[in-house]
Structure 1
């Protein structure tokens, strides 16, 4: 099943329609659906697809050589590395525009560290005059300045985000409405994960069988996810554990792990590069200058795994699941679901602000300050500003919630006309 990638497909299709050559990047962390996406895009088109597996170059390019000869239906000169492949490609004339797909490009970079520079140099000198559209897919979006320079020279940079909340109902048609937020908070929206959810069993039993059982398919998934792209797994996994349980500031992460903040910087950046972590700053702040940056795990599945499986791994290996499932039952709502619900509402409002706010804001986001005052959502235009609070559990009267929100809003200095909105489970959202 292929869902909710129509806008991204349209971007590539428009690019394909232009009367000259181009190259594009598609980024997305592992298992977000990059290969499914590109296979849908190239269906029925003239395309040559390369997936870079983790193997030595001689085998990789021997296979590419053989496949390209079959595709081109001609004998071609020897190909033994990425540069020689691009040289051969640049000499071929295509009457019909060719889509060249370079999937899992991060694996090529492990054996040819200069592969991206080689591509851009060959593109600039030769390939750009071919009748070709290149699509490079990778699970790593480098923060290196030279790499970022090449990214900006491309026609398009597409980042595949998580599928939306609504896709759960499409992927699991028989799911009970009350279970969707639980599933979203633990499984995310990965179709491969969601297909394992059994609607005939309750949420915690599904968690027990899929996550907590030593033979469950998710038991090692969090660590296996990191091993594909990272070394020093112990440091990276410890950081993700610290963030998963609620330490979002670099100082808090360092304190939790008994490390220096300066030591963590490169590890945090690498987790951002592989699109597992994302750094957020308050609305109106510059991400490069703000002192109030916070880190969040982008995918709910990974957050759940590092919050509950990682710290209990030894007990679960001994099949001691009772204490863990009891902890999840008591902790899950306040630690995970509350923030998931806030982000869900934020994305919902961003997608259709007029429906929920009554105007189109020029800016929308979350806000907090150094006094630990936090406002879930702020949205404004040149006249109005709306302060929004999200309530996953209605534990207090609405009047008190409004009063608290108004009090917090005083910390955000503005001369605009103020309005206040409370979202809760009883708020009609779609």
Structure 2
């Protein structure tokens, strides 16, 4: 799966304008921009859009019939169409004379209503839709259904965080403020709409997040309740990850439980695209015990780092201790991890420009003894070791010898190079 961006939109448009039918799955966590992407895609196209939302068949499916009636100018009573199969059956009866996109947004909501919708969709795709001028698109916020779709060999798009470029376009903010905002809130236009550029960062955090009546005060709980009924353990796990407990053993020790107890919770959080598992280079994803877990959503990470553990104080509006903690720990817990990820993605997007060669192996490296390198990349002849720090150039360069020492744990005869990246790299626009 590849991150969704403008290139994905271009590719999807090209596929749509092809005469062949096609089936696409777009994965993305809640609030990741799936619907925004779909709206952009639908511009100047024949389309039938069905929105999935928490409901029952009796309420939801009649709204789908209204969509079909409007699209094909029908005069049908919705009371005769109260199942998902009846919706698809009605669609197959219509004459489609031009390429048309049929879109089921938040398809997981249909699965909650009827678990058979997956099999029904597969049946209608095989027997009817793929033989017509149709681009079928389903968006989901959960990977647990992926195996059901695999038999259709759909084209997969994975939606990640909104790109930092969304914030870079705001000229009234300093470079540093832009990165702090991105690290805390992400780059969703929804979050950014609440940010007052006339106020400094801490005041914005206070007004948007830390006050009990602020719009995102209960964000973490509300976010989890969309996917899980009992959120206590899930919340505790996310808090542990947010404060730097990235290994399952560290999380288990922090919560005073056995690692085996956490396994099913970690799997559900991964399926819901709330956390992601990363491995050092050359490790097998399925079997490796070297995995580290990270929260995918920037603001969810911030919320579980600073709001969740301080609810006692924030509920009674004692903000000062929390703001002091924010001031002393935000670089460690929020800014530096975001910066590392941002720089790694920039290098990955154009390694020839930044590294001088195109590596066939690319990623972080660590072992279970505490040794760590932010990025190792190599081809058949060259290998480069990169450490990334949110520090001044003068402080960062002091880590050069440490990086060389860490590199000795990786046996190689390739030509070595070492790179230290400081925050000055970002301030100078990389």
- CA distance in 2: counterparts of 1:100 and 1:157, whole angstroms: 16
TM-score (norm 2): 0.94
Aligned-partner Cα distance in 1 for 2:52–2:243: 35
| Contact kept in structure 2, 1:15 and 1:155, CA below 8 Å | no
Matches within 5 A, 1:251-290: 251-290=249-288
User: Given that residues 51 and 106 in structure 2 are in contact (C-alpha distance below 8 angstroms), is that contact kept between their aligned partners in structure 1?
Assistant: yes
CA contact (8 A) 2:68 2:91 kept: no
Q: By how many angstroms is 1:98 displaced?
A: 1.6
CA distance in 1, matches of 2:54, 2:103: 17
Q: Which runs of 5+ in 2 are unaligned?
A: none
Q: Per the alignment, in what secondary structure is the counterpart of residue 143 of structure 2? A: coil
Per the alignment, residue 148 of structure 1 pairs with: 147
Contact 1:46/1:97 (<8 A) preserved: yes
- 1:369 is aligned to 367
Question: For the residues of structure 2 that align with 1:284 and 1:343, how far apart are their CA atoms?
Answer: 19
1:221 aligns with 2:237: no
Q: Distance in 2 between matches of 1:89 and 1:201?
A: 52
Once the two structures are superposed, residues 308-328 of structure 1 have per-residue CA deviations (whole angstroms, 9 ceiling, x without a partner) of: 000111211101101100110
**RMSD across aligned C-alpha pairs, in angstroms?**
1.7
Which of residues 71, 86, 93 is equivalent to 1:91? 93
Q: Distance in 2 between matches of 1:399 and 1:188?
A: 29
Q: 1:9, CA displacement in angstroms?
A: 1.0
Distance 1:359 1:24, change over 3 A: same
Q: What is the rounded CA distance, in whole Å, between the counterparts of 1:396 and 1:67 in structure 2?
A: 61
Cα distance change of structure 1 residues 178 and 188 upon mapping to structure 2, 3 Å threshold: same
Q: Which consecutive residues of structure 1, in runs of 5 or more, have no partner in the other structure?
A: none
| TM-superposition CA deviations, 1:238-293 (whole Å, max 9, x none) | 11001001111111111111122122111111111121100000012111121200
For the 8 Å contact 1:163–1:189, the answer to whether it is kept is: yes
- Is 1:181 aligned to 2:183, yes or no? no
Q: Distance in 1 between matches of 2:106 and 2:230?
A: 21
Contact 1:242 1:253 in 2 (8 A): yes
The offset of 1:395, in angstroms, is 8.6
Q: How big is each residue's C-alpha offset from its partner over 1:78-121, in whole Å with a ceiling of 9 and x where there is no partner?
A: 32111121122223231112211101111111111221222112
2:103 aligned partner: 101
Q: Which moved more, 1:48-57 or 1:112-121?
A: 112-121
Structure 1's consecutive aligned runs of 4 or more residues displaced over 6 angstroms after TM superposition are none
- Matched with 1:359 is 357
Partner of 2:301: 303
Q: Where in structure 2 are the equivalents of 1:28-427 lying within 5 Å?
A: 28-75=28-75, 78-142=80-144, 147-151=146-150, 153-170=152-169, 172-394=170-392, 400-427=398-425
Q: How much has 1:396 moved relative to structure 2? A: 6.4
Greater Cα shift, 272-281 or 14-23: 14-23
TM-superposed CA distance for 1:184, in Å, is 1.6
Note the C-alpha offset of 1:122: 2.0
Preserved contact between residue 278 and residue 293 of structure 2 (Cα < 8 Å): yes
Q: How many equivalent residue pairs?
A: 423
CA drift of 1:205 comes to 1.2
